[in-house]
């Protein structure tokens, strides 16, 4: 290691770091850019630690570096990633989205990348599109994007990004929903759906309620429905006789207050309900309790994602659900995106992470007889 340490107010340079460590400036540059194929992780960590110790500020030289690279038609890395998600209100009011965001933000911080939140525009009470995009994209300040939204909502924004000279072919990774032309990290919704119905059929349930709506035409929910059907076939049951679908817009929650009692009266042989997600399972639980319907004695209830809590008499979580590894989905998405940003891959890929049924107290043996309330 060298003994030179810069003094005075002159900004610390990469050459100063190189001299201090006794390595080349090129090695320092590769380490600070995160190029693992060129610099070992141990040396990279040491260089970054010394950079912090000496007070190295890359922003001091960023403008000159950008001009140099742009002049040679090389893409500039700004250590900035955009996240296209739902509204902030929804993002921070549900554990589902906060878990996804936790995985994203923790991993980006470890890699010294900043996260820019891009929110959809509110139109007539709901959120529809991402127009116009922030100027940070046109200025070339974003290295790539991570997306968690219905592909139909994001399609116009993706086209805008691809047509923008400041972004064009920079990488995009989608969470949960596969998007053509992008890498994606998804959950095994088919396996999760199968596990739910398999569990209920093994308990003896023969009429199961599930939901359809505006958002249930997307790939994850189609996969989940296919899982329901495959479980029925595995038990030699006709899915049309086992599965009862009710249609409502799952973003119009007030409909459940009137529709659920109506459906249960029309189909008094229903003994189990599959919620779209845990958040909805909690709402359904409140409605059933208000009707005097007991869970699981009268109706079994299953959520999906394992992010919410329904307390039993002992204060333990009683909600049977399918665990979705949301934080890991966020982490995997960052790793894939940075592999593209750093030039370690050019191949699109789809990663599917396993789900798991978590059996708790909201499911049990089916009641005998028809439901009345």
* CATH code: domain of residue 67: 1.10.260
Claim to verify: residue 193 and residue 174 sit in the same structural domain: no
Residue 133 pLDDT exceeds 90: no
Q: How many Å apart are CA 320 and CA 349, to the nearest integer?
A: 32
Q: How many Å apart are CA 108 and CA 338, to the nearest integer?
A: 9
Q: How many Å apart are CA 131 and CA 154, to the nearest integer?
A: 10
**Displacement of CA 75 from its chain's centroid (Å):** 27
- In the chain, the percentage of residues whose pLDDT exceeds 70 is 87
Mean pLDDT of 28-43: 81
Between the ranges 13-22, 36-45, 174-183, 188-197, where is the mean pLDDT highest?
188-197
Which of 70-74, 130-134, 309-313 has the least mean pLDDT?
Answer: 70-74
* Element of type H or E holding 183: strand 183-187
pLDDT value at position 76?
63
Claim to verify: residue 67 and residue 93 sit in the same structural domain: no
Q: How many Å apart are CA 351 and CA 187, to the nearest integer?
A: 8
Residue 171 pLDDT exceeds 80: yes
Residue 108 pLDDT exceeds 90: yes
Mean pLDDT of 116-145: 82
Claim to verify: residue 331 and residue 316 sit in the same structural domain: no
| 51-60 contacts, C-beta under 8 A, 24 or more apart | 51/12, 51/17, 54/5, 54/6, 54/12, 54/16, 54/17, 54/20, 55/12, 56/12, 56/13, 56/14, 56/16, 56/17, 57/11, 57/12, 58/32, 60/11
pLDDT value at position 72?
45
Domain tally for the chain?
A: 3
Give the range of the structural domain holding residue 337, as residue numbers without chain letter. 80-187+326-355
Mean pLDDT of 144-160: 89
pLDDT value at position 3?
45
pLDDT value at position 154?
87
Residue 287 pLDDT exceeds 90: yes
Mean pLDDT of 22-46: 84
Residue 169 pLDDT exceeds 80: yes
- In the chain, the percentage of residues whose pLDDT exceeds 90 is 59
Residue 347 pLDDT exceeds 50: yes
Which of 59-73, 84-98, 138-152 has the least mean pLDDT?
Answer: 59-73
Claim to verify: residue 153 and residue 236 sit in the same structural domain: no
Residue 153 lies in a domain: yes
Which of 196-210, 255-269, 275-289 has the least mean pLDDT?
Answer: 255-269
Q: Which two tokens stand for residue 263?
A: 């459906």
115 pLDDT band, cuts 50/70/90, is: very high
Between the ranges 32-46, 51-65, 133-147, 264-278, where is the mean pLDDT highest?
264-278
Query: For tokens 């929804």, what's the residue?
Result: 90
Residue 69 pLDDT exceeds 70: no
Q: Residue 192: left (phi > 0), alpha (psi -120 to 50), or beta?
A: alpha
Using CA atoms of 100, 196, 253, 91 in order, give the dihedral in degrees to the nearest 10.
0
Mean pLDDT of 80-109: 90
C-alpha to C-alpha distances, 298 to 262, 310, 316, 369, nearest whole angstrom: 16, 17, 20, 10
Claim to verify: residue 170 and residue 248 sit in the same structural domain: no
Mean model confidence pLDDT for the chain: 87
Would you give the DSSP letter of residue 182?
Answer: S
Claim to verify: residue 172 and residue 206 sit in the same structural domain: no
Claim to verify: residue 183 and residue 194 sit in the same structural domain: no
Residue 3 lies in a domain: no
Helix ranges (DSSP H) in the chain: 14-21, 25-32, 41-54, 59-71, 88-91, 95-110, 135-138, 151-163, 189-203, 219-234, 239-242, 255-266, 278-290, 326-341
Residue 370 lies in a domain: no
Residue 233 lies in a domain: yes
């Amino acid at each position: 290691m060298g003994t030179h340490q810069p003094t005075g107010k002159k900004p610390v340079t990469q050459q100063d770091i190189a001299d201090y460590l006794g390595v080349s400036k090129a090695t320092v540059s590769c380490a600070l850019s995160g190029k693992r194929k060129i610099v070992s992780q141990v040396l990279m960590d040491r260089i970054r630690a010394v950079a912090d110790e000496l007070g190295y500020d890359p922003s001091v030289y960023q403008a000159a570096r950008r001009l140099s690279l742009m002049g040679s038609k090389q893409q500039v890395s700004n250590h900035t990633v955009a996240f296209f998600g739902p509204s902030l209100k929804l993002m921070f009011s549900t554990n589902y989205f906060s878990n996804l965001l936790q995985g994203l933000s923790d991993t980006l911080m470890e890699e010294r990348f900043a996260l820019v939140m891009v929110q959809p525009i509110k139109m007539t009470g709901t959120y529809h599109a991402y127009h116009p995009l922030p100027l940070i994209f046109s200025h070339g300040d974003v290295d790539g994007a991570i997306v968690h939204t219905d592909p139909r909502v994001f399609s116009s924004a993706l086209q805008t990004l691809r047509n923008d000279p400041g972004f064009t072919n920079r990488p995009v990774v989608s969470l949960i929903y596969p998007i053509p032309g992008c890498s994606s990290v998804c959950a095994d919704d088919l396996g999760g759906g199968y596990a739910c119905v398999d569990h209920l059929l093994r308990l003896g349930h023969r009429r199961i309620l599930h939901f359809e709506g505006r958002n249930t035409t997307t790939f994850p929910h189609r996969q989940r429905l296919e899982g329901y059907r495959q479980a029925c076939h595995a038990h030699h049951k006709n899915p049309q006789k086992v599965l009862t679908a009710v249609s409502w817009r799952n973003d119009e929650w007030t409909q459940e207050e009137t529709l659920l009692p109506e459906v249960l009266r029309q189909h008094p042989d229903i003994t189990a309900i599959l919620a779209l997600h845990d958040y909805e399972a909690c709402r359904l639980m409140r409605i059933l309790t208000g009707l005097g319907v007991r869970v699981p004695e009268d109706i079994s209830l299953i959520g999906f994602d394992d992010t919410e809590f329904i307390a039993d008499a002992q204060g333990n979580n009683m909600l049977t659900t399918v665990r979705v590894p949301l934080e890991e989905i966020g982490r995997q998405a960052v790793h894939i995106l940075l592999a593209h940003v750093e030039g370690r891959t050019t191949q699109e890929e789809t990663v599917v992470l396993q789900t798991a049924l978590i059996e708790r107290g909201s499911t049990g043996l089916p009641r005998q007889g028809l439901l009345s309330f």
